Structure 1
Amino acid sequence: MDKTAFARSIVAVRATIPEDAFTAGSLGTLREGSGVVIRADGLVLTIGYLMVEAEEVWLMGQDGKVVAGHALAYDQESGFGLIQAMGPLNFPALVLGDSATAKRGDPVVVIDGHGQMQEAAIVAKQEFAGYWEYLLDEAIFTAPAHHSWGGAALIDQDGRLLGIGSLKLEMSRGGQSSDINMIVPINLLRPILDDLLTRGRVDKPPRPWLGAMAAESNGDVVVISVSPEGPAAQAGLQGGDVISEVRDEEVGGLADFYRQVWKSGPAGAEIPVRVLRNGRETWLRVKSADRDSFLKRPQLQ
C-alpha cells in the first residue's frame, strides 16, 4: 500500500465556533483536527465535534493550500460530520471500505491531515458507550494510538477508508496500560449519507435527549453532571445521582440506560427515572428534548 498517496486525501480542519454556541463551553471555540475527502467535488467527512456549530471552517491540504469549507451536516447518532469545500481541493477521494469485514488483528494505518501516519492493528470491535449520551453497537479500536486522532482516517491494506478517528482511550490488559484509538466505522455513513446531503440530518424522529453526562461505576450509572439548559437539569437531576430504573425497568449499565431512554419514544417524550441520592430513592420525570434544537445552525460563509 502506497500510504503517501492516500495521505493526499486527508486534510487538516480548523473550525471557529461562536462563544455563545451551545457546545462552546464543552468543546471550545477553536477546534482543529482532520477530515477525509470522500467525493471529487470536495465533500469532506470528519468527526462531528470538530465542526458542529462552526461559523468558519478552513480546510488545508498537505500542499499547504487553504480552502474555505461549509459545515454541511452533523449526525448525533454516529458522530459523523460533513464539510463541503467551497473551492477546488484537487485531491483524490478515498474509496469507502467495508468496516463490517474488518477483523481483530488486521493491519491498518491511521493518517491525519498533516500527513502523520501511525501503523496499527485492530485490537477490538465492540460496543462503546460515551458519557455524552452516545452509543455505538460496534466501534473499532486500534493500537498503537495516533496522537492526532480527531477526524483522522483509518485505512485498510487495500487503501480503503474503514472509519474516522474519534477518541484516544486507555486500555488495560495483563496489568499493562496502553493508549488506543476509538474509530467510528464507515458503514454507519452509508445509510445516512443521502439524508445528510439533502436534509442536513437523518430523516427520522430524533432520539430523546436528557442533557445528562453519565458514567458506569461497578455496573451503576452515575450522573457526572447535567447541562444547565437541558431537560435533566430542569427535572432536578444532579451530579452524583445514581440512575437505577427507567420506566420501571432496572438499568443494567450505561449502554442499557441509553437504549431504555431511546426506546421510550421520540424527542419530547417524558422519561421517568428512579434515582438514588444521598441514600434515598426518588422518581424524577424528565421531559426529553431534541439535542439538535439547542445547536446553532450552519451558515454559509
Structure 2
Amino acid sequence: MLDTSPTFILDEDPIPQASQSLGTPDDAQLLDAYSNTVMGVVDRVGPAVVKLDIQKGGKPAGSGSGVILSPDGLVLTNSHVAQGAPRVAVQTQDGHRFDARLIGDDPDTDLALVHIEQPVSLAAARLGNSSALRRGQVAVAIGNPLGFETTVTSGVISALGRSLRAKSGRLIDDVIQTDAALNPGNSGGPLVSTLGEVIGINTAVIMGAQGICFAVASNTASFVMGQLIRHGRVRRASIGIAAQQATIARRVQLSAGIDQPAGVMISAAETGQPADSAGLLIGDIIVALDGYKVSAVDDLIRLLNEERIGRSTRFDVLRNGKSRSFQVTPRERKGS
C-alpha cells in the first residue's frame, strides 16, 4: 500500500524564539472578533437556510440549498436546483419538512422561487444591496455541500461584475466571485455579508480550481424575485450586448460633465441587434438610460424591463471620454 503520510524534515538549526510565538494578544483579539462576526452571521441567517430535495417522475432528481426570504415561506434558490420541477420538498434547519410549489423559474439568471404550501411562520433572511460591495469584503456561505447540511464557509469577495454563462446559454451579468468554499449542494444557498444580509445566491464553482466560486448578486436576485412573484417569469427587453462594470476616471467625469464614478462598458455587441443597429460600439460606456443613472450592470438589467420592449429609449454613453446619446429600440428577449 502506498504510504501517503506526510514527511517532516527537522532543521539542524534551532527555530528562533520569535517564530514559535502563536501571536500577540492583539492578533488573538482580531481573530476572536472575526470568529464572533462569522458566528453572529450564522446565528442570524442560518435558520433561514433550507435544503431542497427535487423529485421528477416520483424519483429523486437531486438536491440543493435555498434561503427563506419571507416568513410565509418564499424560498429563493437556483434554477438548476429546481430543474423546473412543479413541486419540491423543503427541509428547514430544525428538521421540519414541507411541500412547496414552483412559483417561477428564470434560467437566464439561474434563479428560481418556490413557496411552501403549508401555513408557516419561519425565520427569514433579508436581501442586501450588492452594488455597495467592495473587493476584499468578508463573505460567508451557508448551505448543504455534498449533502453535509448547514455547512458554513467564509472568505472574501474576490471580484465584482463578473459574467457567467447560465445553463440557458446566456450570460449572467453582475456575478460576484468569492473564495468562500462552495461545493455541489451549496447551489441556491446564500452568500452573506457581515451585516447578516444576503448579498448573493451561490450558483457555481470552476471544477479543478481553488477558491474560484460565484454567486448571483442580490440586486439581480431582488429584481428577478419581484418579476417571478408578479408574472411567474421574467419578461425582458434586450439590446443585444454583453457588458461589464467600468470605472470612470475623475478627469473624464469632469470633461464629460457627469458625476458618477462608474458605468457599464459594452464588451460585445451582436450584429443586427438594437445596440448595433443604433450605432453603439464595443468600448462605449453606458452612463444613463432615459435619464436614469447606470452605474452597475444590475442597473442596466433592471431598467431594461418589459415596459421598454419596442419603445425608443435614450442611451447616454461615453465614447473616448466624450458624451454621446443614441436612440435604441429594445426587443423582447427570446426565450424570456
TM-score tier, shorter chain, comes to 0.5 to 0.7
The alignment partner of 1:198 has SS state of: helix
Residue aligning to 1:218: none
8 Å CA contact 2:105–2:233 kept in 1: the answer is: yes
1:118 is aligned to 2:185: no
Whole-Å separation in 2 of the counterparts to 1:58 and 1:262: 45
Map 1:209-220 → 2, pairs under 5 A: none
Structure having the higher strand fraction is 1
Q: Unmatched 5+ residue regions in structure 1?
A: 20-27, 172-176, 209-254, 267-288, 293-301
Whole-Å separation in 1 of the counterparts to 2:117 and 2:271: 39
Identity among equivalent pairs (%): 22
1:84 is aligned to 2:120: no
Structure having the higher helix fraction is 2
The alignment partner of 2:210 has SS state of: strand
1:137 is aligned to 2:147: no
1:61 is aligned to 2:92: yes
8 Å CA contact 2:138–2:155 kept in 1: the answer is: yes
> How high is the TM-score relative to the length of structure 2?
0.56
Whole-Å separation in 2 of the counterparts to 1:60 and 1:29: 15
Map 1:34-73 → 2, pairs under 5 A: 34-73=65-104
Q: Please state how far the C-alpha of 1:89 moved relative to its aligned partner.
A: 4.6
Whole-Å separation in 2 of the counterparts to 1:262 and 1:167: 32
Map 1:121-270 → 2, pairs under 5 A: 121-130=156-165, 132=167, 133-147=169-183, 148-169=185-206, 178-204=210-236, 256=268, 259-260=269-270, 263=273
Q: Please state how far the C-alpha of 1:194 moved relative to its aligned partner.
A: 2.9
Q: Unmatched 5+ residue regions in structure 2?
A: 1-36, 241-266, 276-305, 307-332
Whole-Å separation in 1 of the counterparts to 2:186 and 2:103: 21
Q: Please state how far the C-alpha of 1:52 moved relative to its aligned partner.
A: 3.0
Residue aligning to 2:46: 7
8 Å CA contact 1:170–1:179 kept in 2: the answer is: no
8 Å CA contact 2:48–2:68 kept in 1: the answer is: yes
Whole-Å separation in 2 of the counterparts to 1:183 and 1:94: 16
8 Å CA contact 2:73–2:120 kept in 1: the answer is: yes
The alignment partner of 2:107 has SS state of: coil
8 Å CA contact 2:137–2:157 kept in 1: the answer is: yes
Which has the greater radius of gyration? 2
Whole-Å separation in 2 of the counterparts to 1:90 and 1:17: 28
1:100 is aligned to 2:131: yes
The alignment partner of 1:191 has SS state of: helix
The alignment partner of 2:150 has SS state of: coil
> How high is the TM-score relative to the length of structure 1?
0.62
Distance 1:203 1:144, change over 3 A: closer
8 Å CA contact 2:201–2:216 kept in 1: the answer is: yes
Range with greater deviation from structure 2 (42-51 or 75-84): 75-84
Distance 1:6 1:291, change over 3 A: same
CA root-mean-square deviation: 3.0
Q: Please state how far the C-alpha of 1:198 moved relative to its aligned partner.
A: 2.2
